[in-house]
Structure 1
Amino acid sequence: LWPSMWLLPTDNAYGEWPKSGEIDMVEIRGNEKYVCDGMQSGNKRANSTLHWGASVTQDKYTKTRWTKLLSNGSFATEFHTYSLSWLPTGISFLIDGQVIGNITQPAGGFWKLGGSNGTNIWANGTIMAPFDKRFHLILNVAAGGDYFPDRCFNYNDTGALVSKPWSTNATVQMKPFWAAKNQWYPTWTRNPEDSHMLVDYIRVWSL
């Protein structure tokens, strides 16, 4: 499972994704013992990301992704505060009051930051374009998806290694995922709250 809080452009003023941007306040994989490239990548790790680019194949999110890794506990064991400070001069992501990443007005804008060629699709916007238009907030819990790379794996309660039951590049993904339900479904129902995203409050200020 994959809980997230994110924002999408309301009007797609600069075009389809990712031309008009995407703001991921926080994304967390729900697995307790999920490992990618030898690193703990489950519910001890939270990511905050800006997606932007001239086309789907030119998403420059790797330049604007930040991570918070807990040394003790996990993001699933207690409430945490996830914040987004979004100003005309920059964007900052905070977890429990600590800034984990920020970007101020990039010289030459995001077009230059991304090293893009051709006509600047954000030339008519501000220096923060495409993050200078209306966005709306989304809270959701997803299952599967490419946020779980094929190279990563999970350990079950007995310590056995469990591979992902679907391939990201497969034409059909839901069928093999469901066929392997005996691997993952018991972890969803062991404690009803384990498979939920619990929200204490949401606050939005216009500054």
Structure 2
Amino acid sequence: MLGVLLTAAAHAGTPWELVWADEFDGTTLDASRWTAQTGTGTLFGLPAGWGNNELQYYTNRSQNLSVSDGALHIVARAEAFAGSNYTSARIRTAGKFEVLYGRIEARITIPSGTGIWPAFWMLPTASPYGSWAASGEIDIMESTNAADRIYATIHHGAPWPNNASNGNSYAPGVDFGASPFVYAVEWEPDTLRWYVNDQLIHTVTSATWFSTAAPSNPRAPFDVQFHLLLNVAVGGNFPGPPNGAVGFPMEMTVDYVRVYQRQQLPFDSAPSPIPGRIEAEDYDQGGPGVAYLDTDSSNNGAQYRPTEAVDIEASSEGGFNIGWIRQGEWTEYSAQVAAAGHYRADCRVASQTNGGSFRLEFNAVNRTGTLLAPVTGGWQQWTTVSAPLVLPAGPTTVRFVNESGPTGEFNLNWIDLALLARAGDVNADQSIDIDDLYDFERATGQFPDVDLDGIPGTAADEAALRATLRQPELQAPRAAP
């Protein structure tokens, strides 16, 4: 996998970071990334013909699916197999890789011939809004018959046959089967943009798409994780059947598939120090799905960082606060924990009605449990909610997660993380010495969870404390009282 950043001008200068890729450098399909779907669709709950009256039988045989010479090869063949007259291959990343937002691209040479239908596309893994196409489909690249045009399409709306679509065909007068082209989509919460060799060919926004299962959610159905698919179909409703002029076998060659997301960076260039205060509005740079998730399409408040979706307003306590916090939203903050130990999280919240609940995660570990944001009588009437927690030293990503249901409403001003005692400072006197061992043995210490595993006063805690006391910097003689 390439550990590089994509910063080409075609991507508006936004830093993209490679998060997943298959360069097809081996000799077999990487089973940790892809699964071959076989048959005619009936094994996956579809009518024979994959719901489109397609004519091929998908296999995982090397005759149809192989990796060699730095590329994936999907080959459609005219042959009798399992009751079908054609074979081909279809692979997907479902259950192995899913993505929500980012740039998804592949470098592909497509086949050209009547009745041939190559595709690079995406489907939701969970389909939370219902059956196709209520849960959406993103077609990054499709072509049919002569490889003289590329289709960029979304499917959405209601379940078939009441589904809707929005797309565009790109036909610049070139043969897309003569050489490889890079096909990409840039997916953001309210916008999808399609590119061919970095030429923008189509744009669609959330003002156009919808799901009948979520009429109050303007971002549905394209606000959940999707997986990737590659296939070559033969025949079907879109291209029609092949004719005698088609020179089988027909091959699609894929040089790579790459997925980028915006690079996540601290808001003020450096991570927030812990102990210390994190201002809610200073969430990381990186954009939606990386540094934050904001589920409404409007920017309520429109203060401080008005070009981003997080809802921010001026605070009565000075500075700014995050408000209009909706179900499922979160923000992330890069931080650096100076010392492993016992901390207290103080969260400044306000709610005029209903209140809500939330948690704090550190490197994806829930360290606080569920905390309640009470009704305070006003959106700027602030109170502090506190919780003890333990933290290891080193870099961490703090994630504020709203756990409230659809009626929960509260604001967040800041998160303050105070050090109560370093790991080993059993009596919390700001030093680690033999007195801590005495207090541990007598069970009189305030913080006997020395190894920070959540279980205080164990043999492992005593061993960790004794090991700490043997460290050279703690061996100097103590000053006389």
Once residues 155 and 167 of structure 2 are traced to their aligned partners in structure 1, the CA distance between those partners, rounded to angstroms, is: 9
2:161 is aligned, of 34, 57, 70, to 57
User: Counterpart of 1:94?
Assistant: 195
Question: Which string of whole-angstrom CA distances, capped at 9 and with x for unpartnered residues, describes residues 61-97 of structure 1?
Answer: 1xx11111032x3110001010010011211111111
Equivalent residue runs for 1:53-202 within 5 Å: 53-61=157-165, 64-71=166-173, 73-106=174-207, 110=210, 120-123=212-215, 125=217, 127-149=218-240, 164=241, 183-184=244-245, 187-189=247-249, 195-202=250-257
1:6 is aligned, of 114, 117, 121, to 121
The number of residues matched between the two structures is 147
SS in 2 for 1:140: strand
Tell whether the 8 Å contact from 1:86 to 1:92 is kept in structure 2 after alignment: yes
SS in 2 for 1:197: strand
Q: Which has the higher strand share?
A: 2
SS in 1 for 2:248: helix
Tell whether the 8 Å contact from 2:117 to 2:239 is kept in structure 1 after alignment: no
TM-score of the superposition, structure 2-length normalised?
A: 0.29
Once residues 50 and 81 of structure 1 are traced to their aligned partners in structure 2, the CA distance between those partners, rounded to angstroms, is: 19
**One-letter code of the match for 1:99?**
L
Aligned-CA RMSD value: 1.9
Distance 1:9 1:122, change over 3 A: same
Tell whether the 8 Å contact from 2:185 to 2:194 is kept in structure 1 after alignment: yes
Tell whether the 8 Å contact from 1:5 to 1:24 is kept in structure 2 after alignment: yes
User: Counterpart of 1:35?
Assistant: none
- The yes-or-no answer on 1:26 pairing with 2:141 is yes
Distance 1:124 1:13, change over 3 A: farther
Tell whether the 8 Å contact from 1:18 to 1:55 is kept in structure 2 after alignment: yes
Structure 2 residue ranges without an equivalent (≥5): 1-115, 263-481
TM-score of the superposition, structure 1-length normalised?
A: 0.65
User: Counterpart of 1:155?
Assistant: none
Tell whether the 8 Å contact from 1:6 to 1:137 is kept in structure 2 after alignment: yes
User: Counterpart of 1:154?
Assistant: none
Structure with greater contact order relative to length (CA < 8 Å, sep ≥ 6): 1
Question: Which string of whole-angstrom CA distances, capped at 9 and with x for unpartnered residues, describes residues 117-174 of structure 1?
Answer: xxx411364x22101111100000111111125xxxxxxxxxxxxxx56xxxxxxxxx
Cα offset for 1:57?
1.6
Tell whether the 8 Å contact from 1:90 to 1:128 is kept in structure 2 after alignment: no
Once residues 227 and 216 of structure 2 are traced to their aligned partners in structure 1, the CA distance between those partners, rounded to angstroms, is: 22
Once residues 184 and 2 of structure 1 are traced to their aligned partners in structure 2, the CA distance between those partners, rounded to angstroms, is: 16
